[in-house]
Amino acid sequence: MSINTTDKYQLQNSEEGLSLQLSGDWRFQSGIPDPLHLIDEILSAQPEKLSFDCRQLRSWDSGLMTFLVALINSCKKNNVSVLQETLPGGIQKLLHLSFAVPERKGTRRELLGQPALAKIGNVTIEMHRSWNDLLSFIGNLVVGFFNFFRGKARFRYSDLFYQIECAGPSALLIVTLVSVLVGIILAFVGASQLRIFGAEIFVANLVGLGMAREMGAMMTAIIMAGRSGAAYAAQLGTMQVNEEIDAFKTLGISPIEFLVFPRLLALIITMPLLCIYADFMGIVGGAIVCATMLDISFFQYFQQIQDFVPPIHFMVGIVKAAIFGVLVATSGCFRGLQCGRSASSVGFATTSAVVTSIVLIIVADAVITIVCQLIGV
Amino acid sequence: MVQVPYLEIQNLTMAYDDNVIQENLNFSVKCGEIFIIMGGSGCGKSTLLRNLIGLMEPTKGDVLIAGVNLWQASLEERNQIISRNGVLYQNGALWSSMTLGENIALPLIEYSDLNQKQIEEVTAYKLSLVGLGGFEDYYPSEISGGMRKRAGLARAMALDPDILFFDEPSAGLDPISSRLLDDLVLELRDSLGATIVIVSHELESIFTVGDNSILLDTEEKTIIATGPPKELLKHSEDPRVLNFLTRTIR
């Protein structure tokens, strides 16, 4: 928007010095002129004083104030005395307020001018600090486990049962839905290929093995990362913001024992159970596809799984689920305890907890698969 | 009678990375004294409190509580020292997943040999002290901000601590609640002989309850005045101290 500056101000030379005549409406809505041009004009006149004539000024808001602050600051820098008493009373008071507490030296942050090397250094320091936090967290967790096995861990069993209820029975519906659908997908994919060879019955092997060794544990873990891991990070993060974690520390109670332990134990207990349930529901999903599309009866399907998918495969999945439970709980709780003191850091902690959990689940799954191959399980 | 210092701060420096907040702080708090840490917003009062209650290690210097160096003690020793402190946080910091009764009972369960019935009785008594009798089964989210603060005080007093730390106790309270809290603080000192350290910039409360005080300055990054608040107001010649104590901008 172009602004006609002559409608807003005019510089006049008088016997008393330079006078700035302000006129019309000085509001954000009607646009505020850039003060730079006027400042150049004033400085080129090299006046000793600058006064104001505000008789034509109709209305004003903070737009005029910012214009005047910029003008006064430039005049002060160039030894031009500004006669603020020639301004209306309200403007004088606001100017007095804005200049009353001068900006503290070193307050302004100079982010843009930071050299690349300094940025790398800062990121490295931050990573180092984060790594130290993680090590300290793991150390405290180990001490907590030690205390737990000695029967000295300090947490409330009511909290443990509550966390088990939240992580277990409350998650059944979503685990059912996802597992049945994964079973159906596996069966569909298998059926489309195996039908070519007339080997439709092996769809049962595919679904049974897939659910037992991989998908049951993996899908449960991913659901729990999004559900419980995120909830843990948000809960502990909010407690951090509200100083509730500090209140535990100042009582000499370890937040790791009191808050992390019930959550960790809850997932260690519920994840294998949910995994068994997910395995079964996935197999049921496969059975539905076999019965409706491949003319394989439920009996044939389950018989095939019983014959060709031995319990060891289910055991591998269950052990994986327990390990994934540890990873989800520790990621969620660690990110929550690491949270800053603002609402946005709770959001960041939650996102970070889910991402960390999922990455760790996949890495751990790969490692366990390789180990199982090596030991022939 | 010579009063023994319960809390002693020696050459304390606090900093976030390279950014020094306050340096060379030296002061002591006597037994049974109400000591005020004053200063403008952002001068480091709450950070100093975090150093005193064991939440943040000072960059330099010592914090001695009952003669024991807090930051040189072993973790177990430090936990023992800080469990004898009571802390009232700015917003109460009540544990949101627990009822008020459970909030007060937890320190008792952890650090006393009382049975369930005795714990319930102590909890009810502590709540009645702060005017919240009968609120045992309420969750923090079900009560007002002022009530949360009082419940926080009840929890801070649960173990009859030797020293109580208050972080801006009057902040966010209406004038009546603020006055009631001041009365309660005086009552605690007079009846229990508790040593109380208050971080505050609420002048009315400072003059009502403060026996002794320090004033922290943002520019100087250290203590610029020490003494009873009323005495500082009467006798200080430092314009920064007078400006603060008389709410004047000069």
Compute how many other C-beta atoms are within 10 angstroms of the C-beta atom of residue B8: 16
pLDDT tens digits for B205-214? 999 999 999 9
**A263-B83-A244 Cα angle (round to 5):** 40
Interatomic CA distance for residues A166 and A148, integer angstroms: 22
pLDDT tens digits for B63-113? 999 889 999 998 888 888 888 889 999 888 999 999 999 999 999 998 888
Interatomic CA distance for residues B226 and B27, integer angstroms: 8
Element containing residue B21 per DSSP (H, E): strand B19-30
Interatomic CA distance for residues A334 and A232, integer angstroms: 9
Distance from CA of B107 to the nearest CA of A (A): 7
Averaged pLDDT for residues A51-78: 90
Nearest CA in chain A to B218: A104
Q: Where residue B249 falls among pLDDT bands split at 50, 70, 90?
A: low
CATH 3.40.50.300 location in chain B? 1-84+162-250
Put simply, the chain A residues between 83 and 102 with a CB less than 8 A from any chain B CB are 100
* Residue A112 predicted with pLDDT over 70: no
Nearest to B85 among A244, A246, A250 (CB): A250
**B194-B196-B198 Cα angle (round to 5):** 165
Compute how many other C-beta atoms are within 10 angstroms of the C-beta atom of residue B178: 20
The answer to whether A352 and A366 are in contact (CB under 8 A) is no
* Residue A109 predicted with pLDDT over 70: no
Structure tokens at B233: 């107001």
Give the mean pLDDT of chain B.
90
Which percentage of chain A shows pLDDT scores above 70? Answer: 96
Structure tokens at B190: 């007079």
Nearest CA in chain B to A255: B95
Show residues of chain A in contact with B80, CB under 8 Å.
252
Position B170 scores a pLDDT of: 84
Q: Where residue A33 falls among pLDDT bands split at 50, 70, 90?
A: confident
Which percentage of chain A shows pLDDT scores above 90? Answer: 60
Q: Are strands B85-88 and B163-167 parallel, antiparallel or unpaired?
A: parallel
pLDDT tens digits for A171-207? 999 999 999 999 999 999 999 999 888 888 999 999 9
Hey, are the CB atoms on B91 and A243 less than 8 Å from each other?
yes
pLDDT tens digits for B57-76? 999 999 999 889 999 998 88
pLDDT tens digits for A129-146? 889 999 999 998 998 888
Q: Where residue A217 falls among pLDDT bands split at 50, 70, 90?
A: very high
pLDDT tens digits for B28-49? 999 999 999 999 888 999 999 9
Nearest to B53 among A104, A159, A250 (CB): A250
Q: Where residue A160 falls among pLDDT bands split at 50, 70, 90?
A: very high
Helix (H, G, I), strand (E, B) or coil at B22: strand
Structure tokens at B97: 């997943």
Structure tokens at B201: 């910039």
Angle between helices A216-224 and A311-337 (to 10 degrees): 20
Name which of A66-70, A107-111, A306-310, B67-71 the model is least confident about. Answer: A107-111
Interatomic CA distance for residues A332 and A329, integer angstroms: 5
Query: Given CB atoms, is A239 within the 8 Å cutoff of chain B?
Result: yes
| CATH architecture for the domain at B1-84+162-250 | 3-Layer(aba) Sandwich (3.40)
Position A239 scores a pLDDT of: 95
Q: Kindly indicate whether the ipTM for this predicted assembly is greater than 0.90, answering yes or no.
A: no
The amino acid at A313: H
Read off the DSSP letter of residue B133: T
Q: Where residue B1 falls among pLDDT bands split at 50, 70, 90?
A: very low
Interatomic CA distance for residues A377 and A334, integer angstroms: 32
Position A111 scores a pLDDT of: 58
The answer to whether A133 and A338 are in contact (CB under 8 A) is yes
Hey, are the CB atoms on A244 and B107 less than 8 Å from each other?
no
Q: How many Cα neighbours within 13 Å face the side chain of B109?
A: 13
Interatomic CA distance for residues A277 and A220, integer angstroms: 9
Backbone angles phi, psi at B10, to 5 degrees: -125, 120
Interatomic CA distance for residues B14 and B24, integer angstroms: 9
Hey, are the CB atoms on B93 and A246 less than 8 Å from each other?
yes
The amino acid at B58: P
**pTM for this prediction:** 0.81
Nearest CA in chain A to B56: A246
Interatomic CA distance for residues B240 and B246, integer angstroms: 10
Structure tokens at B186: 């005086």
Hey, are the CB atoms on B91 and A246 less than 8 Å from each other?
no
Read off the DSSP letter of residue A101: S
Q: Where residue B250 falls among pLDDT bands split at 50, 70, 90?
A: low
Question: Dmax over Cα atoms in chain A, in whole Å?
Answer: 110
Query: Given CB atoms, is A256 within the 8 Å cutoff of chain B?
Result: no
* Residue A110 predicted with pLDDT over 80: no
DSSP state string for B23-70: EEEEEEEETT-EEEEEE-TTSSHHHHHHHHTTSS--SEEEEEETTEET
Angle between helices B145-156 and B100-111 (to 10 degrees): 10
Position A107 scores a pLDDT of: 65
Position B176 scores a pLDDT of: 85
* Residue B184 predicted with pLDDT over 80: yes
From residue A212, alpha-carbon distances to A2, B126, B231 in Å are 71, 55, 78
pLDDT tens digits for A283-336? 999 999 999 988 899 999 999 999 999 999 999 999 999 999 999 999 999 999
